Amino acid sequence: MWLSDSQKFGVGMTAFGLALIGLGVILLFDAGLIAIGNILFLAGMSMIIGVQKTVFFFTRRDKLRGSVAFFAGFALVLIKWPIVGILVEAFGFLNLFGDFFPVAINFLRGLPIIGRVLSLPGIRQIVDRVGGYPSQYPV
C-alpha cells in the first residue's frame, strides 16, 4: 500500500503523539506532554484517513461510548487531572481501537524476531488473551 506524503506525515505525527503520551505517563503524568500527545495523535489520525472519515469514525453509533470516554479523558487531562484523564482515555482507546488488536497481533506474529518473542510460553497466553484468540492458538 502506497501512502501519500501527507499520510506519511500523519503516521509520523501519530507515532510522535503516542510517544509523547507515553513519555508524559513515564514522567509522572505530565499533563502538558499528554495533552500535546493527544493533539498530535488526533491530527495525525485525521491526516492518515482524512478529516471526514475521522469524524465519521468517532461519531459512529457503535463507537460512541469509546469516543465519549476518550474525549472526556482528554478534557480531564486539559484541566490538570492527568491520572484520572489517562485512565478514562485508556478505556476509550480500548473501546475505539479494540477491534484492531487481533489484526495488529497477527501482523506482529509474522515478523521474524517479534513473532518469536510473542510465541514464548508466558507471553503467548497474554497476547492470545489481548488479541481475543482461543487459548490453543497454533503458531
pTM: 0.79
Task: With respect to residue 68, please indicate whether it lies within any of the assigned structural domains.
Answer: yes
| DSSP-derived secondary structure for 33-76 | HHHHHHHHHHHHHHHHH-HHHHHHHHH-GGGHHHHHHHHHHHHH
Considering its fold, how many domains does the chain have in total?
A: 1
Residue that the C-alpha cell 484520572 belongs to: 84
Task: With respect to residue 90, please indicate whether it lies within any of the assigned structural domains.
Answer: yes
- Residue 29 DSSP code: -
**Residue 21, pLDDT above cutoff 90:** yes
**Mean of per-residue pLDDT scores for the chain:** 90
Task: With respect to residue 111, please indicate whether it lies within any of the assigned structural domains.
Answer: no
What is the residue range of 10's domain? 5-98
Return the percentage of the chain with pLDDT > 70, whole number.
94
Average pLDDT over residues 38-65: 95
Q: What per-residue confidence (pLDDT) applies to 5?
A: 92
Q: How confident is the model over 73-127, as pLDDT tens digits?
A: 999 999 999 999 999 999 999 999 888 888 888 888 888 888 899 889 988 888 8
The span from the CA of 37 to the CA of 23, in Å, is 9
Task: With respect to residue 63, please indicate whether it lies within any of the assigned structural domains.
Answer: yes
CA distances from residue 78 to 1, 71, 106 in whole angstroms, order as listed: 36, 10, 35
Task: With respect to residue 109, please indicate whether it lies within any of the assigned structural domains.
Answer: no
Q: What per-residue confidence (pLDDT) applies to 32?
A: 95
Task: With respect to residue 132, please indicate whether it lies within any of the assigned structural domains.
Answer: no
Task: With respect to residue 25, please indicate whether it lies within any of the assigned structural domains.
Answer: yes
